[in-house]
Each structure stands twice: as structure tokens, then as C-alpha cells.
């Protein structure tokens, strides 16, 4: 009877969610050392500024430093590969971009990492809208006028961007394709260079992220004709969205935190909870907005994963539409 009782007791323990207290204990113990947050962008960039803002606010919550490590290069592949190869111990996370997790899949024949298999979703951070801009004294005052001007002088009207295989370049190509515009797409090595050339009159318009160009627009040196998000931006209510002319045109970059596959669930859930709490804070969201992106709190790890799957399917269609082939 004693033997039978012991077996029944063990069976009962196995049926009860006995791991939940252990899981709770692990979550409470984490972190007991500094946490590394890896980025694919250089210090001083928009993503870097947001990551450092969040790291400053996480320190009081965790009692541990969040160490920012920048590994730019290779259209995000250098940083993404390093993140994918990091130990899945709950202390390594990757502040990832649209390119790293989605669009690179369609731009490279071979990637040194697998965006779907090498990472687990942790939290969604923010959306980063782009815009179409002209010089402040340009006679072009609307997107409709820009399209008409490009059609009147096909191949002569110039639209600067960061290159055909960058996010801004693909937005420019999609804009041409869907609007019927016949702009000559001029690649630049950076948004900064394209903006300087626009102000110097060397190009008629540019496609660039709002974060990088907002200050020039506020100073009256550039004019923001339209934003590429599906709706107008709260900080720029007078500026129309391209979708008002081209329905379903929603082209924004975004940032999400992921972790190496196999990272303990307790660490993932703790990071998700604390990141969402920060993003929901009005002061933090406001500071992110001054950098450019729009904070998007409330995504669970599962919802972040579902978003990534939808974006992958959407970009599979977009790259076909604009004839982008992997190289």
C-alpha cells in the first residue's frame, strides 16, 4: 500500500502545474547579472538612442545594467548574426529592425542567420514612418503635383533615396509603381547626404525616415509632403498620408526585441512585461517620439511573433511587385 501510495502521489504531482512556482522563482531571480542588448546600428542612430533610453529606465527595475553593444554593417547582417550566435541564457537580446527580421530574407540569396528559426520574439517597440520631402522653396506642394511633374518630365525628375535595396529605396520604387510616377530614383549613401543634396538643389525630392529629417522640416529647410504610414502622424497632423491618395499604402519601418532561440520563457516574459510598461509611460513614449518613431506598447511575445509572420507574407508580395530579387 505504501508503494502504491507513493506512485499515486508522484503521479498527482506530475499532473499539477508544479513548475509554476519554480518558474516564478526563476523570473524573480532574473536578472542576477548585466543584460546585453545588441544592435545592428551605430551609436547615435535612432535605434541606438531608443535602446539607450530604455536601458536607462530598465536599470532601476532590474538592479542590473543593460549593456548596449553596437555591431553595424552588412545591411544589419553583422549584428543579426552575432545576436543569433549569442548564448540563449536569458541575458542576450537583439534590438532588431524590419531589415534584419523580414526584408533581408528577400534581398539575400543566403543569410548567415535564419530570422525565423534563430530567434524568439520578445517585444514590439515602435513604428518608424518615412516621408516624401522637397526643398522648402520647391514649387511642388503636394504629392499629386510631384507625380504630375515626374510624368511631365519622365526620367528627369529625381527622387533621392538610400539605394534600391534599402527600406527607403524600396518605398520609392513602390511609390513609383503604384502612383504611376516616373521619377528617376537616385541612390545616396545615407539620408544625411540625400537631405544635403536636396537642400542644395541637386535632387527634386527624397524619400527618408521622418526621424532623420524632422528637425530640418521643423526648421523650415525642408517640406514634408506626405508620410508613408497608413494614417497621418500626431506630430504632423497637417501632412497627409500617401494612403489618402494610394489606398493600402502603409510603408513604415519598425523595431522589435528578439532573443536567441531557446532563451528561457521566464526571461522573455519578464523583458516583455517591463518593456511594455515603459512604452506605455507617457514620458518615455514622448521621448521616443522626439527621436522619430512611435511607441507601440501592448504586444505579447506571441503577438509580436504573429506580426513578424504577417510582415514576412506582406513583403513577399511587395518585393515581387517592385521586382526585387535576392543577390
Q: Which residue has the higher pLDDT, 190 or 222?
A: 222
Query: Going by DSSP bridges, is the β-strand pair 158-161/205-209 parallel, antiparallel, or unpaired?
Result: parallel
197-203 mean pLDDT:
96
Residue 254 is predicted with a pLDDT of: 96
276-303 mean pLDDT:
95
231, 185 contact by CB (below 8 A): no
Residue 19 is predicted with a pLDDT of: 45
| CA–CA distance, 159 with 198 (Å, rounded to integer) | 9
Domains of the chain: 23-128+252-321 (3.40.190.150), 134-221 (3.40.190.10)
Cell of 74: 552588412
Residue 28 is predicted with a pLDDT of: 66
Residue 290 is predicted with a pLDDT of: 85
Nearest Cα neighbor of 96 from 322, 307, 241, 321 is 307
Positive/negative CA dihedral, 271, 272, 277, 282: positive
How much of the chain, in percent, has pLDDT values that exceed 90? Answer: 81
Q: pLDDT tens, 216-271?
A: 999 999 999 999 999 999 889 999 999 999 999 999 999 999 999 999 999 999 99
What is the three-state SS of the chain?
Answer: CHHHHHHHHHHHHHHCCCHHHHHHHHHHHCCCCCEEEEECCCCCCHHHHHHHHHHHHHHHHHCCCEEEEECCCCCCHHHHHHHHCCCCCCCEEEEEEHHHHHHHHHHCCCCCCCCCCCEEEEEEEEEEEEEEEEECCCCCCCHHHHHHHHHHCCCCCEEEECCCCCHHHHHHHHHHHHHCCCCEEEECCCHHHHHHHHHCCCCCEEEEEHHHHHHHHHCCCEEEEEECCCCCECCECCCCEHHHCCCCCCCEEEEEEEEECCCCHHHHHHHHHHHHHHHCCHHHHHHHHHHCCEECCCCCHHHHHHHHHHHHHHHHHHHHHCCCCCC
80-108 mean pLDDT:
97
Residue 211 is predicted with a pLDDT of: 84
Burial of 10 (0-12, 13-18, 19+ CB in 10 A): exposed
Cβ-based neighbour number of residue 55 at 10 Å: 17
pLDDT band at residue 27 using 50, 70 and 90 as cut-offs? low
Cell of 315: 513583403
- What pairs with residue 68 in β-bridges? 37
Q: Cβ contacts of residue 244 below 8 Å, gap of 6+?
A: none
pLDDT band at residue 21 using 50, 70 and 90 as cut-offs? low
| CA–CA distance, 6 with 248 (Å, rounded to integer) | 63
Residue 44 is predicted with a pLDDT of: 86
Residue 23 is predicted with a pLDDT of: 52
36, 91 contact by CB (below 8 A): yes
Query: Going by DSSP bridges, is the β-strand pair 184-187/119-135 parallel, antiparallel, or unpaired?
Result: unpaired
- Residue located via cell numbers 543566403: 110
| CA–CA distance, 86 with 71 (Å, rounded to integer) | 13
Cell of 64: 542590473
pLDDT tops 80 at residue 40: yes
The mean of the pLDDT values for the chain is: 91
pLDDT band at residue 24 using 50, 70 and 90 as cut-offs? low
pLDDT band at residue 7 using 50, 70 and 90 as cut-offs? very low
How much of the chain, in percent, has pLDDT values that exceed 70? Answer: 91
276, 123 contact by CB (below 8 A): yes
Report for 2-6, 124-128, 163-167, 214-218: range of highest mean pLDDT: 124-128
Residue 201 is predicted with a pLDDT of: 96
Residue 145 is predicted with a pLDDT of: 97
- Residue located via cell numbers 527595475: 61
Amino acid at each position: 500500500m505504501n508503494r502504491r501510495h507513493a506512485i499515486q502521489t508522484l503521479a498527482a504531482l506530475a499532473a499539477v502545474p508544479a513548475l509554476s512556482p519554480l518558474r516564478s522563482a526563476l523570473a524573480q531571480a532574473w536578472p542576477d547579472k548585466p543584460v546585453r542588448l545588441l544592435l545592428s546600428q551605430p551609436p547615435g542612430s535612432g535605434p541606438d538612442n531608443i535602446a539607450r533610453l530604455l536601458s536607462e529606465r530598465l536599470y532601476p527595475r532590474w538592479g542590473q545594467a543593460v549593456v548596449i553593444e553596437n555591431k553595424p554593417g552588412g545591411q544589419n547582417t553583422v549584428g543579426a548574426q552575432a545576436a543569433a550566435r549569442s548564448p540563449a541564457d536569458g541575458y542576450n537580446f537583439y534590438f532588431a529592425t524590419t531589415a534584419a527580421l523580414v526584408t533581408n530574407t528577400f534581398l539575400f540569396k543566403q543569410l548567415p542567420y535564419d530570422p525565423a528559426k534563430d530567434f524568439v520574439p520578445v517585444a514590439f517597440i515602435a513604428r518608424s514612418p518615412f516621408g516624401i520631402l522637397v526643398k522648402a522653396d520647391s514649387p511642388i506642394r503636394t504629392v499629386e503635383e510631384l507625380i504630375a511633374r515626374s510624368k511631365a518630365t519622365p526620367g528627369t525628375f529625381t527622387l533621392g533615396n538610400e539605394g534600391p535595396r534599402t527600406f527607403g529605396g524600396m518605398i520609392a520604387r513602390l511609390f513609383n509603381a503604384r502612383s504611376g510616377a516616373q521619377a528617376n530614383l537616385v541612390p545616396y549613401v545615407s539620408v544625411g547626404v540625400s537631405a544635403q543634396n536636396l537642400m542644395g538643389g541637386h535632387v527634386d525630392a527624397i524619400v527618408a525616415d521622418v526621424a532623420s529629417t524632422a528637425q530640418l522640416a521643423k526648421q523650415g529647410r525642408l517640406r514634408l509632403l506626405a508620410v508613408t504610414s497608413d494614417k497621418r502622424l500626431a506630430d504632423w497632423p497637417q501632412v497627409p498620408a500617401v494612403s489618402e491618395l494610394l489606398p493600402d499604402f502603409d510603408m513604415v519601418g519598425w523595431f522589435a526585441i528578439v532573443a536567441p532561440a531557446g532563451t528561457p520563457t521566464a526571461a522573455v516574459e519578464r523583458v516583455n512585461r517591463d518593456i511594455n510598461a515603459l512604452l506605455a509611460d507617457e514620458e518615455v513614449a514622448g521621448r521616443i517620439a522626439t527621436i522619430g518613431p512611435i511607441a507601440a506598447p501592448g504586444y505579447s511575445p506571441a503577438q509580436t511573433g504573429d506580426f513578424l509572420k504577417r510582415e514576412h507574407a506582406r513583403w513577399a508580395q511587395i518585393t515581387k511587385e517592385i521586382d526585387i530579387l535576392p543577390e
